[in-house]
Amino acid sequence: MKENKIPVQTLLKGEYLKVIRFHKDLDDLSVVPHRHDHYELILVLGGNGQHTINFKKYEISPDKLFFINTGQVHQIDNFDREGWLILFGEEILNRFLQIHPQQNESGLLNSFSSNPYIVLDDTLEKIFLLIVTQIQTELIDAKQDANVLLHYISLFLLHANKAHIQQYPKDQLNPINRKQFLLIKDLVDVHYKDQHQSSFYAEVMNMDIKKVNKICRQSTGMTLFGILQERMLTESKIQLQTSSKSIKEISYDLGFNDPAFFGKFFRKHTGITPLNFREKRRV
C-alpha cells in the first residue's frame, strides 16, 4: 500500500532564512497542491487571484500578508503577481516562541484561524518593506548574524500578530483558554482518525463538553465536532488527490467502519462523491 505523496516545495533548502521575489514563475509546484519545507510569509504588493490553504480559497490582492504553516497544503493559481516571500524554518520559529511564548497559536500564527492574513495600511506596509530590506542587507553580509536575522523576523511576526488581533478580535483567546485549546488541538492531531466523538476529548481534558465547545468556538468559530470533521475532510481530500490508495482504503484509514459512511460524510461536506473529487482534482 503506497502512502500519499503530496509534493514538498523545497525553497528554503536548508538555509536559515531566505527572502525571494513573489512571482508566478517561481516554482512549478505552486499550481498544484503542495506542502513547504519552511514557514512562509507572503507579502503581496501587486496582482489579483486566488490561492488555497488546506483547500480553502482566499483572494490574493495588494496590501495583504499571508502566513503559511509547514503542515498546510498550499496551491496558488497562475496569475501575474509581485511582492516578497519570507521563508524560515523550525529553528527561527522555535527561538521566537521561546522568547515570546504568548505568541504561540496567536494572531497570524493561529493555524485554525479562518483569516490567515492581515490587510496592510500604508504604515504597516512601510514597516514590513523596511524589515525586508534590513533582512536582505544582513543576508549578504560577509559576517551574517543569526541573532540579528532572528530579531528582524521577530519584529515582523510581532507587528503581524498585533495587526491580526486588532483586525480579527473574535479570533483571539485569553491565555488560559489558548493553552487549553492548544492541548485540544494536539489531541485532535493525534486521535482524529480513531476517535470521532467529542466526548473522548472532553474526557481526556477532564472538562465539560460545553466548556470545550466554547473554547473551540472562540478560536475557530466551530465546535469540537466541527474541528474533527474539518480535520478528517482535509486529510481525505489530501489522500484522494495525491494517494494511490483506493477509496475503500482511505475510508478505513480515516476510521470509518464502512466505506459507504465515508461516502456520505464526504458528500455532505463537499456536495460530490469521493470518486468525483478524485477525478477532478487528481495530481
- Domain 175-281 CATH class label: mainly alpha
> In the prediction, which pLDDT does 108 show?
92
CB contact at 8 A, 5 and 249: no
Sign of CA dihedral 217, 222, 228, 232: negative
CB contact at 8 A, 233 and 241: no
Residue from 33, 32, 40, 44 nearest 11 by CA: 40
Q: What is the pLDDT of residues 91-117, one digit of tens each?
A: 899 899 999 988 988 889 987 788 999
> In the prediction, which pLDDT does 224 show?
94
Rounded Cα–Cα distance for residues 60 and 77 (Å)? 10
Single pTM value for the model? 0.75
In order along its 283 residues, the chain shows pLDDT tens digits of: 444 567 888 888 878 899 999 998 887 778 888 888 899 999 999 999 999 998 889 999 999 999 998 878 899 999 999 999 999 998 899 899 999 988 988 889 987 788 999 999 999 999 999 999 999 999 999 998 999 999 999 999 999 999 999 998 876 667 777 788 889 988 998 999 999 999 999 999 999 999 999 988 877 778 999 999 988 988 898 888 778 899 999 999 999 999 999 999 999 998 999 999 888 766 5
> In the prediction, which pLDDT does 173 show?
66
3-state secondary structure 63-86: CEEEEECCCCCEEECCCCCEEEEE
Q: Where are the domains of the chain?
A: 8-171, 175-281
- Residue 161: Cβ within 10 Å count: 21
132-135, long-range: CB < 8 A, 24+ apart: 132/19, 132/43, 132/84, 132/86, 135/17, 135/19, 135/86
Q: What are the b/e assignments for 75-92, b being 16+ CB within 10 Å?
A: bbeeeebebbbbbbbeeb
> In the prediction, which pLDDT does 237 show?
86
What is the CATH number assigned to the segment(s) 8-171?
2.60.120.280
CB contact at 8 A, 268 and 236: no
Rounded Cα–Cα distance for residues 150 and 96 (Å)? 7
Q: How many residues does the chain have?
A: 283
Rounded Cα–Cα distance for residues 248 and 256 (Å)? 9
CB contact at 8 A, 152 and 96: no
CB contact at 8 A, 159 and 125: no
The helix (run of H) or strand (run of E) holding residue 118 is: strand 117-119
> In the prediction, which pLDDT does 281 show?
66
